[in-house]
Amino acid sequence: MPEKMRWELRHATVEEGYGLRGKSRWVSEALDDFLQLPEEKWVEMVAESDVPLDNTVNEYISVETDVWRRLQES
């Protein structure tokens, strides 16, 4: 992910009370909320996203099994 997005992810988890160790839980919950939107809404949101691919870094997370399964089915 872009370095700026990585910083924003870390900042959001701390701001929302998850802390840095709660990053994976924060992402899983965000994905779960996202997948509860009507399909046409989230497909449109993903199709319109514009994420620059330069200056990228790795960020490791684990996603809840049921959320991962729903992502794979989508």
pLDDT at position 47: 62
Question: pLDDT at residue 48 above 70?
Answer: no
List of residues 6+ apart from 59 with CB closer than 8 A: 1, 6, 9
Residue 50's pLDDT band, with cuts at 50, 70 and 90, is low
Answering whether pTM is above 0.75, one says no
DSSP assigned state of 54 = S
Residue 17's pLDDT band, with cuts at 50, 70 and 90, is very high
One-letter amino acid at 47 equals: A
**pLDDT tens-digit readout, 53-70:** 677 888 888 888 888 898
Average pLDDT over residues 11-23: 90
List of residues 6+ apart from 42 with CB closer than 8 A: 34, 35
DSSP H helices, 16-63, are 23-35, 39-48
Question: Residue 20 is encoded by which pair of tokens?
Answer: 């840095």
